[in-house]
Amino acid sequence: MLSIRRSAGAFVAVAIGVTLVAAATLLLASGRPRVPDRLAYAAVVVQSPDAGAPADSFAPTRPWSAARTAELTGRLADVPGVTAAVPDRTFYAQALVDGRPPATDARREDAHQGHGWSSSRLGGLRLTAGEPPRQAGEVVVDRALGLRPGGPVTLLTAAGPEPYTVTGLVDAPGVWVADGVAAALAPGVRAIGLLVAPSTDAEEVAETVRGVVGGDGRVLTGDARGAVEPRGDARTRWIGRQVLTAMAALAGFVTVFVVASTFAFTVAQRRRELGLLRAVGATPRQVRRLVHAEALVVGATAGVAGLLAGAAIAPGLGRLLVDVGFEPATFQVRYEPWPLAVSFLAGPAIALLAVWAASRRAARVSPLEALREAAADQRPVGRLRVATGVLLVAAGAALSLGTATSDDARSGATFALYAVMALVAGATVLAPAVVGPVVRLLRSPVRRPGGAIGMLVRAGALTATRRTASIAAPVLLTVAFAVLVSGMVRTTTAAYAAGRADNVNAGWVVVPDRAPGLSDQAVAATGGTALLPTTVFRSDPGTPPENRPLTALGVDPAGFAAANRALTVVAGTLNDLRGDDTVVVPASANRQPTQPYALVFADGESVSLRVVAVVTDDSIRGDLLLPRSVVRAHDPSALTSAVYLRDRIEPPLGARIVDVSVWAAEADRAEDRLVWLFTLLLIGVSAGYGAVAVANTLLMAAAGRVADLRLIRLAGALRRQVIWLVTAESALVVLIGALLGGAVAFVGLLSIRAGLAEQVGVPVDLVVPWSVVGGVVGLCLLLAVLASALSAWRSLSSRTGRRA
């Protein structure tokens, strides 16, 4: 009873969907933390205590102080089976080549990290040339930089550029200095690596080590040592996970949709046949089972095809993700069993979900429909359909409102994804009800190309509302998604930039160039107002979690107050932010001036500070204000993120100067770029899909229209006219879909704009990237026109099918 030709469309759609799901889940399963090469030889790694932060904040762990490190290292070295215990000291350091930081892989966090030479043992590093560093001023660098042992090199650290001598070369990114230098630059330690005697079992050693460390750290072995990977890598992988999850979810959702409309369409086309089955004795249940069985066969075979294709493209897609920055450079594809199992089930599951509505319709076909013409489908919408559609649209509107009012970009994006899904589903469900009025609206433009054609086009679209709707649905889906998501991302970016520029009272901003931050020397050279961010840890007595990480900004109070328009002091005065024990807290910290406030700094030292002022929460882009000197004293590797200036100056080494609007626009550029790429990826997935679905439906519809077309041709139309008729018809349908989709999305965008304006406090312009929208509509139009012209041409020239 299965017809290959009839099921080809659904097959292709399911196969593509499963391909994407398979590739995405494979990559998801592959994305696991990797033990840094630097620590590869340390069978046991002791990590400093976890910061009590949510997993997606990527805060570093709370470091041990210098004294505690020395004590721990000594005790760990005495554990039986441990041959050496080496603290892993990591700080900011970058070798300058030709007076600038080298344009090496800027995304590799370890390319601008320095370490003490003793920790090279933990990674089994060998010198490829020269000697290890023995005293201050000596350094071992990456061979890839092209420097020679004995030659001079300028090393950029948080203090500024300093002259060093290259004593040796290794085959790894980063720089290695003498242990004494490393201890000064990185007084706080976050990991101690243990080398274990060859004959001993790492797990046994780890057990003993746990007894030594107690609650002051985590003891890791095997793959668990991945927890000490660079925070940047963890963050990149987290972003990748969001991208892949969204891709898998979207692909699955869109597939169900496209396949559902394909099945609905096949059922509509087969009404006569189904009626005949009913007439000769098939019960509604049997008809339903028949449709289910067909879907299951299509789903299972397409699922296997998609699974194989997905497994095949996964490595390439993985490399692409690394290239664009959605996965860390250390990412590798691994073929785990569970994604394969999930994808294997995805095909039948998608097909069964998709066929649900269609099978209900099929079961309701009455025996007498065998006698009726298939195309005239006069009852466009049932009450259940309208109710479902209205509910979905309402849910979509509510979710859009959620997007607009959420103050967190991540949850906003999630809301947006769900909003679009709901709106699209609702609009598609309602489409048959809306098609009639819209076609009537579009009447005039179509009337022009010769009365007969216009009449036929309109009549065709109107009588077969459901056919029209199932062609328009994928376009609607794609366009709505493209407009809403791209518009939302662009509008949000612009809104935040406007808000940022509005808050800063400065003409120019000095920002780092090819470096993670600005050194003290660079800051001093500009003479402007600088922010020196660092991570500190706070344990509020009685309120978990312990070691909550906070972003503290080291500032000079007068300059900060002058440059920050959003600053509102609630209590105390900012001018008291002096000395080595003062802090300014936001109102939400619930502290009053003169109360004590204890913090653990990046060097692991616990210090009791005094609150001198309280500011409103939105005054600062951080959690605390500290005197700049305090931050520097406790965090030798802290880097300045930006310096605000009245007037333009010549930028110092490793820096650029930009005007404030440019700065505002690019302040989150790296993030914005990722978000935009993510957006384009999602739009690409759905657009490619929509276009395939349109072509697919049109090709299927063509099969049912051969007779019509021949009749029109016999009635005296030229072949050219018939092809024009078919093309105009599909163009019209694509236009209907684009219009509906655009309208739905625009409503969402308006609410988002309102929410944003409220949030950033300045008027927000609606930014819609028309090129993206145009591209999406163009793609659908192109494929639609091609598919319909091609099939019309083919059916008019074929001489075989006499039962046409």
Partner 1 sequence: MTTQTVTLTGLRAVYGRGARRVTALDGVTTSFASGTFTAVMGPSGSGKSTLLHCAAGLDRPAEGTVTIDGRRLDDLGENELTRLRRDRIGFVFQAFNLVSTLTAAQNVELPLRLAGRRPPARDVTAALDAVGLADRAGHRPSELSGGEQQRVAVARALVTRPAVVFADEPTGALDSAASRQVLRLLRGLVDDHRQTVVMVTHDPTAAAYADRVLLLADGRVVDELTGAITAAVVAARIAERETVPAESVGEASC
Which of 285/799 has CB closer to partner 1?
285
Q: Which residues pair with 599 in a beta bridge?
A: 607
d(CA 258, CA 254) in angstroms, rounded, equals 6
Residue-wise DSSP of 412-439: HHHHHHHHHHHHHHHHHHHHHHHHHHHH
Nearer to partner 1 (CB atom), residue 2 or residue 197: 2
Residue 580, SS3 per DSSP: coil
Find the shortest distance in angstroms from Cβ 360 to partner 1: 14
Residues near partner 1 (CB under 8 A): 1-3, 272-273, 276-286, 366-368, 370-371, 801-803
Contacts for 335 with CB less than 8 Å, ≥ 6 apart: 26, 311
Q: Give one DSSP letter per residue of 251-300, joined into a string.
A: HHHHHHHHHHHHHHHHHHHTHHHHHHHHHTT--HHHHHHHHHHHHHHHHH
Q: How far is the CB of 387 from partner 1 (least distance, A)?
A: 23
- CB count within 10 Å of CB 710 equals 15
Dihedrals φ, ψ of 227, to 5°?
-60, -20
720 within 8 A of 452, measured Cβ to Cβ: no
Cα gap 539→547, rounded to integer Å: 5
* Nearest approach, Cβ of residue 8 and partner 1 (Å): 14
- The residue (of 125 and 274) whose beta carbon lies closer to partner 1 is 274
Cβ proximity to partner 1: between 278 and 628 the closer is 278
Q: How far apart are CA 510 and CA 502, in angstroms?
A: 17
How far apart (Å, rounded) are the C-alpha atoms in residues 589 and 441? Answer: 59
Angle separating helix axes 669-714 and 231-269, nearest 10 degrees:
10
CB nearer to partner 1: give 263 or 689: 263
Residue 195 phi/psi, 5-degree rounding, is -90, 135
Q: Pairing between strand 175-177 and 606-615?
A: unpaired
Smallest gap, in angstroms, from Cβ of residue 370 to partner 1?
6
Enclosing H/E stretch for 624:
strand 624-627
Give the nearer residue to partner 1 in terms of CB position, either 799 or 803: 803
Query: Closest approach of Cβ 733 to partner 1, in Å?
Result: 27
> Measuring CA to CA, which residue among 239, 148, 144, 193 is closest to residue 44?
193
Residue number with CB closer to partner 1 (296 or 703): 703
Q: How far apart are CA 452 and CA 570, in angstroms?
A: 76
| 265 or 496: CB nearest partner 1 | 265
The token pair that represents 305 in the structure block: 């095809």
Q: Is 365 exposed, middle or buried (0-12, 13-18, 19+ CB in 10 A)?
A: buried
Indicate the residue among 381 and 567 with the shorter CB distance to partner 1.
Answer: 381
Six token digits for residue 449: 């190309």
Taking alpha carbons only, the member of 510, 528, 548, 744 closest to residue 641 is 510
Residue closer to partner 1 by CB (options 214, 281) is 281
C-beta of 5: minimal distance to partner 1 in Å? Answer: 10
Strand ranges (E), 171-241: 175-177, 191-196, 218-221
Based on CB atoms, which residue is closest to partner 1, 370 or 598? 370
Q: Which of 265, 295, 291 is nearest to 278 (CA)?
A: 291
Q: 610: Cβ–Cβ under 8 A, 6 or more apart, which residues? A: 581, 582, 583, 594, 595, 596, 597
β-strand 582-586 against 606-615: which pairing, if any? parallel
Looking at the Cβ atoms of 301 and 406, the one nearer to partner 1 is 301
Q: Report how far apart the first and last C-alpha atoms of the chain are (Å, whole number).
A: 20
Q: How far is the CB of 287 from partner 1 (least distance, A)?
A: 10
Closest CA to 159 of 658, 657, 653: 653
Comparing CB distances to partner 1, the nearer of 23 and 287 is: 287
- Of 149 and 367, which has the nearer Cβ to partner 1? 367
Minimum Å gap between C-beta 709 and partner 1 is: 18
Nearest distance in Å: CB 263, partner 1: 17
Q: Compute how many other C-beta atoms are within 10 angstroms of the C-beta atom of residue 581.
A: 15
Nearer CB in complex with partner 1: 27/290: 290
